[in-house]
Amino acid sequence: MSEGGDITILKRFDHESLTTRSFPKRAFAAVVALTVAVVAGETWAGWKAYDGARDVATAELRLRQVAGNIARFDEAMATSVRMSVVTGDVSWEKRYREQESALAAAVKEATSLAPEAYKSDKVVQARAADTRVASLNTEAFGLVRAGRNREAMAILSTAWCDEQRAIHAAGMTASLEAMNARSAGRVESQALRTLLTLLGCIVATAGVAFAWWKVLLAMRGDAAGDVQGALRATKERLELHVKERGRALDDKNREMRLVLDNVNQGLLILDENGVIGAQRSAIVGQWFPRTPTGMTLWDFLADVDPGASALSKLAWEQLKADMMPIELSLDMLPKKLVIGRNVFDVSYQPIMTRGTLDHLLVVMSDATPKLERERLEGEQRELMSIFEHIVKDRPGVIAFSGELKDLVQKATADDVSVADRRRYIHTLKGNCAMFGATHLSTLCHQIEDRMAEEGGMLSERDRGLLAEAWKNVSKKLEVLVGDESNAAMEIDKNEYASVMRMLLDGKPQREIAKEMAQWSLEPVRLHVARFAARARAVAERLGKTDVTVTGDAGNLRLAPERWAPFWSAFVHVVTNAVDHGIETDEERELAGKSCPGQIELKAFESTNEVVIELIDDGRGIDWERVAAKAKARGLPAATHEDLVEALFADGVSTKDSATEISGRGAGLGAVRQECSRMGGSVDVVSVPGKGTHFCFRIPLDKPFTQLAKAA
């Protein structure tokens, strides 16, 4: 009922009360009518007031529900991206996208319900921050899909990301406060309309209006109390939700700290200036007690590894200059740190922001236990290899031991020329590889590298390492070989049969004695067998089909004392034949050759001299390349004899780089030196594409002298 209608009824009541004489009845009737009218009007007005208050409460409750959904969806999205980064499970991204769609719908509904609550600067900034955080989350999911979890974790742990989350949280608080203010305003507006309606009813009739006013007032109080109570409850729930989210974030941070405190890798964060950040894994402090925050990486390394420090500074300058791709600059950073007896492997993960290096994650792993394990396993393999050689060829190993000792003494002596020292170490390397002393062979190769860098000089450190390595090998040989004085004499069954025939035929004793005296000499066929095994081992290591090696030494025997140095050096000829000469299977097929490659070894006696030949059907010697190398070193290269001479010159090799097998340019010089020492000569015939023929001719000891030594 309107206020004007109530006044009209009051005027009618006054007029009738003055003009009628039956006032009590009429008044009663009028009062009754007025009461009925007022009751009806008040009922209608009260219902409208209640309906309005209910609409306000319903709308505001819905708005709070939407706000709660927004907070819940936001928390679910944050949880999804963190779980994806921590576990590496890409299925979390699907849940994230579902929550993202629900969040967008909730924000749209909240904007339509309370547009003014989403127009403040803080809310606008929060939505922008939320967009940036969503972009980082998308980037993190991309990294997780690529298997780069640590990099994704680093992105979500940056200070900038935390700042954006803080802006987002402030925006949520601002929107909530705006919603509360809007709710209070709507409630007050509805209450004012109800009060005006009640005042109209009071004008119509004081008594009835007073009663209904009390009723409506109670109704208004109840409705307003319900709305305010609902608002307070929603506010309390939101505050509780925010606190729970804060606790969840704290729990996540604690979990991350637990990971950093228990991971067995050293993790450091460097800023764009190379300065070490405060966040790091706990094991870094155990490895390097002096790792202060605010120090650059190269300043930190200056005390522990100066070489790595200089390299790090140079690489960082290249990064800052942005003159090369970031991958190349990062590749310049040290990959290994050697600190005392510990060795650390180091890798680097760039953290990019809009295409620019923002931070660099340094990952360090202690490789010392692995290297120590590999060293022990290598020693065990070396021991087994030497043992196998002893089982197969005990006399050869005994001879190898003596020759190895002699080579070590020569290589470490003071009065040795640079060229001779290089030959001794190179020969030592080849023989160690042939008899399974791999550790000493590898050490010789490393020493050769350092000598090449230092002008051929052998440092005192390398001299000591070589002596110590030989000492270890000699101990193993001493244990495995035992007493060398009990070495047996090996006799071929054909030689035995020959002597038996001489006895049966009644040959003179002196002739028989000469034949038997040969038995004390060393059978050349044993060396041929060793060289064949060496050729096959080199071929296998180079990935070539097992080389076919044939050998023929007949019953030729030679004095081991005189020939041992030559056999030690001859291994270089065999190795070069496989490495330089024999082609790969593909190359042989293209050249129309059969596989595998062929190497033939021959040793025989001819007119008081021993002839030793090695023939291969490989690619042959590149004489043009030999000529170019000779000219570069100032050596004659006009005739074939000049080229053969250059081939044996120190430092000349047809390979561009040295490997652990060959390429030093010292092996052929060593074998020619031993051949010359024994009064012999060497000839080389090589046809490109057909193969190479090495022929060594060395004078044989006089029969009488040879037999005297045998006796």
pLDDT at 603: 92
Residue 205 has pLDDT above 60, yes or no: yes
Contacts by residues 387-392 (CB-CB < 8 Å, ≥ 24 positions apart) = 387/480, 388/436, 389/435, 389/436, 390/480, 390/481
DSSP lists the bridge partners of residue 280 as 268
Q: Select from 1.20.58, 1.10.150, 2.60.40, 1.20.120 the CATH code of 375-488.
A: 1.20.120
- Ranking 169-183, 451-465, 546-560 by mean pLDDT, the lowest is 169-183
Percentage of the chain beyond pLDDT 70 is 70
- Ranking 294-303, 406-415, 649-658 by mean pLDDT, the lowest is 649-658
pLDDT at 704: 38
Residue 306 has pLDDT above 60, yes or no: yes
pLDDT at 709: 46
Q: Where are the alpha helices (DSSP H) in 263-341?
A: 282-287, 297-304, 306-321, 326-331
Peptide bond into 596 cis (omega under 30): yes
Hey, is 296 helix, strand or coil?
strand
Do β-strands 356-366 and 266-270 pair in parallel, antiparallel, or remain unpaired? antiparallel
Residues 298, 313 contacting (CB under 8 angstroms)? yes
Confidence class for position 698, pLDDT limits 50, 70, 90: very high
What's the pTM?
A: 0.46
pLDDT, one tens digit per residue, over 537-553 is 888 877 777 788 888 88
pLDDT at 206: 66
Q: Which of the two residues, 295 and 60, has the higher pLDDT score?
A: 295
Tell me how long the chain is: 711
Terminal Cα-to-Cα distance of the chain (whole angstroms) = 147
515 is written with which tokens?
């034949």
650 is written with which tokens?
């120190």
Residue 374 has pLDDT above 90, yes or no: no
Residues 135, 167 contacting (CB under 8 angstroms)? no
Q: What is the mean pLDDT of residues 511-526?
A: 75
pLDDT at 699: 93
pLDDT at 497: 74
With 0-12 / 13-18 / 19 or more C-beta atoms within 10 angstroms meaning exposed / middle / buried, residue 172 is: buried
pLDDT, one tens digit per residue, over 571-584 is 888 888 888 888 88
Backbone angles phi, psi at 638, to 5 degrees: -85, -35
Residue 566 has pLDDT above 80, yes or no: yes
DSSP lists the bridge partners of residue 642 as none
Confidence class for position 616, pLDDT limits 50, 70, 90: very high
Cα separation, 507 vs 75, in Å, equals: 108
pLDDT at 265: 77
Cα separation, 160 vs 129, in Å, equals: 10
Residues 412, 466 contacting (CB under 8 angstroms)? yes
Do β-strands 336-339 and 548-552 pair in parallel, antiparallel, or remain unpaired? unpaired
pLDDT at 695: 94
Q: Could you check whether 266-366 and 375-488 share the same CATH topology? A: no
Cα separation, 6 vs 42, in Å, equals: 10
Residue 200 has pLDDT above 80, yes or no: no
Percentage of the chain beyond pLDDT 90 is 5
Q: What is the mean pLDDT of residues 276-282?
A: 76
Residue 61 has pLDDT above 90, yes or no: no
Residue 611 has pLDDT above 90, yes or no: yes
Q: How far is CA 287 from the centre of its chain?
A: 20
Q: Which of the two residues, 705 and 123, has the higher pLDDT score?
A: 123
- Ranking 363-372, 471-480, 592-601, 606-615 by mean pLDDT, the lowest is 471-480
Q: What are the boundaries of each domain within the chain?
A: 3-258, 266-366, 375-488, 521-709
Averaged pLDDT of the chain: 74
Q: What is the mean pLDDT of residues 387-391?
A: 60
Q: Strand (E) positions, 423-555? A: 522-523, 548-552
pLDDT at 42: 66
pLDDT at 693: 93
pLDDT, one tens digit per residue, over 212-265 is 455 445 445 555 566 677 777 787 888 888 888 878 777 776 766 666 667 777
Q: How far is CA 332 from the centre of its chain?
A: 15
Q: Give the residue from 79, 80, 77, 100 showing the smallest Cα distance to 90.
A: 80
Backbone angles phi, psi at 160, to 5 degrees: -65, -40
Residues 7, 202 contacting (CB under 8 angstroms)? no
Angle made by CA atoms 20, 22, 23, in degrees to the nearest 5: 75
pLDDT, one tens digit per residue, over 390-446 is 656 666 666 666 666 777 777 788 777 777 777 777 777 777 776 667 777 788 878
Domain 521-709 top-level CATH class: alpha beta
Confidence class for position 707, pLDDT limits 50, 70, 90: very low
Counts for the chain of helices (H) and strands (E), in that order: 25, 12
266-366 has CATH 1.10.287.3610 classification? no
pLDDT at 12: 45
Residue 702 has pLDDT above 60, yes or no: no
